[in-house]
Amino acid sequence: MKKLMIIASIISLAAFICFTVMYYQEGFGLYLSLSITFGVLFYHLAMRLIVGYSFNAVMHNKADYENRRYRLKHFELKLYKFLRVKRWKDYMPSYNNDDFDPTKRSWEEIAMATCQSELIHTTNVVLSFLPLILAIWFSDFPVFLITSVLAAGFDLMYVIMQRYNRARIVRVIKTKNKLKNK
Say how far apart CA 135 and CA 80 lie, in whole Å: 34
Q: What is the DSSP string of the chain?
A: -HHHHHHHHHHHHHHHHHHHHHHHHH--HHHHHHHHHHHHHHHHHHHHHHHHHHHHHHHTT---TTSGGGSPPHHHHHHHHHHTHHHHGGGS--S-GGGG-TTTS-HHHHHHHHHHHHHHHHHHHHHTTGGGGGHHHH--HHHHHHHHHHHHHHHHHHHHHHHHHHHHHHHHHHHHHHHHH-
Asked if 113 and 166 count as a contact pair (C-beta separation under 8 A), the reply is: no
Look at residue 181 and tell me whether its pLDDT is greater than 80: no
Q: Give the global pTM.
A: 0.88
Q: Residues 103-109: what's their mean pLDDT? A: 93
Q: Residues 22-35: what's their mean pLDDT? A: 89
Per-chain mean pLDDT for the chain: 91
Half-sphere exposure of residue 134: CA atoms within 13 angstroms, side-chain side: 18
pLDDT at 180: 79
pLDDT in tens, 46-61: 999 999 999 999 999 9
Say how far apart CA 14 and CA 53 lie, in whole Å: 22
Half-sphere exposure of residue 1: CA atoms within 13 angstroms, side-chain side: 10
Residue with more model confidence, 179 or 106: 106
Asked if 151 and 128 count as a contact pair (C-beta separation under 8 A), the reply is: yes
Q: Residues 90-102: what's their mean pLDDT? A: 86
Asked if 67 and 128 count as a contact pair (C-beta separation under 8 A), the reply is: no
